[in-house]
């Protein structure tokens, strides 16, 4: 298949480009394709004529989005909509990567695809608006929600915690935010299966299980550093985070693909592969 990937320079985009090597992949970072430029999006899609457009591009500075709402909307919502519109025009299928932050975290149990989003932050709102534009575009679409991504490329929570642990000081990590840590390589492999699956619409794709940020940090550093639990209020981050946005799925069996493995197994393998 011919596949166009946006956000191709990011941690998920780069893993996808490697996992999908058997296909004809056209990966674009922001410099190669600004998805907020509707004309550029249409020209690129019309030139490549892809079977799939996979959008991993995002304004993912959760705190920064609080004071840069227009910029976050341009990428996370409008840009996603332009891609879906162009995909529909070219008869391509469209996959849009979204987030657990579309939920408010008050449910008390894992969110499934039938739960109604209620984002707390500007970032979450723009991502949800992007979902709506993609699903309403008339294209053959799939919205894949995932969470707490980490991988070999770019910056992420796992790398940040490992770097902080080398300083010799205790790490203060929030213990009242619970979610689904997900390895980008596992997600990329799942996506490789999804593009050959008949399933469409909204789908949750995360490594199995859940933990708090504090528990995640403890698993990352092991005995290499002291980790102290704190509250979200103590962390004083500008953007509100959902307290428990663990993702589950009631639709995954329809994909015909094996569920992603437990987050603990994925993390152990990842830690063995990095310096």
Q: Supply the CATH classification number for the domain 2-155+181-208+246-262.
A: 3.40.50.720
Which position among 111, 123, 150, 214 bears the catalytic label? 123
Backbone CA torsion sign across 106, 143, 199, 141: positive
What are residue 96's DSSP bridge partners? Answer: 55, 143
Which sequence spans correspond to the domains of the chain?
2-155+181-208+246-262
Name the DSSP class of 99: E
The torsion defined by the Cα of 249, 251, 256 and 262, in degrees rounded to 10, comes to 0
What tokens does 262 get? 């437990």
What is the distance between the alpha carbons of residues 87 and 107, in angstroms, rounded to a whole number? Answer: 34
Is residue 111 annotated as a catalytic residue, yes or no?
Answer: no
Is 246:105 a contact under the CB 8 Å cutoff? no
> Looking at residue 223, what is its pLDDT?
85
What is the distance between the alpha carbons of residues 39 and 224, in angstroms, rounded to a whole number? Answer: 51
Question: Which residue in this structure is represented by tokens 């997600």?
Answer: 187
Q: Per residue of the chain (275 residues), what is the pLDDT tens digit?
A: 999 999 999 999 999 999 999 999 999 999 999 999 999 999 999 999 999 999 999 999 999 999 999 999 999 999 999 999 999 999 999 999 999 999 999 998 999 999 999 999 999 999 999 999 999 999 899 999 999 999 999 899 999 999 999 988 999 999 999 999 999 999 999 999 999 999 999 999 999 999 999 999 999 999 889 999 999 999 999 999 999 999 999 999 989 999 999 999 999 999 998 87
């Amino acid at each position: 298949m011919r596949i166009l990937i946006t956000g191709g320079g990011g941690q998920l985009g780069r893993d996808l480009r490697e996992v999908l090597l058997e296909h004809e992949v056209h990966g674009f970072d922001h410099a190669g394709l600004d998805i907020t430029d509707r004309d550029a999006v249409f020209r690129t899609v019309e030139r490549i004529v892809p079977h799939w457009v996979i959008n991993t591009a995002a304004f993912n500075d959760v705190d920064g989005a609080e004071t840069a709402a227009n910029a976050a909307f341009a990428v996370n919502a409008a840009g996603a909509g332009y891609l879906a519109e162009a995909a529909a025009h070219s008869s391509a299928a469209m996959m849009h990567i979204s987030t657990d932050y579309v939920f408010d975290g008050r449910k008390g149990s894992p969110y499934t695809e039938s739960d109604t989003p209620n984002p707390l932050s500007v970032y979450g709102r723009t991502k949800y608006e992007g979902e709506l534009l993609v699903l309403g575009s008339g294209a053959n679409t799939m919205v894949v929600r995932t969470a707490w991504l980490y991988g070999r490329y770019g910056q992420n929570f796992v790398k940040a915690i490992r770097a902080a642990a080398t300083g010799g000081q205790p790490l203060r990590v929030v213990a009242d935010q619970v979610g689904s840590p997900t390895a980008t390589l596992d997600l990329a492999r799942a996506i490789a299966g999804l593009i050959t699956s008949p399933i469409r619409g909204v789908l949750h794709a995360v490594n199995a299980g859940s933990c708090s940020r504090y528990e995640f940090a403890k698993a990352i550093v092991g005995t290499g550093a002291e980790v102290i639990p704190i509250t979200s209020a103590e962390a004083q981050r500008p953007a509100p985070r959902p307290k428990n946005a663990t993702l589950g799925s009631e639709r995954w069996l329809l994909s015909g693909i094996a569920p992603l493995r437990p987050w603990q197994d994925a993390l152990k393998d990842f830690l063995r592969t990095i310096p």
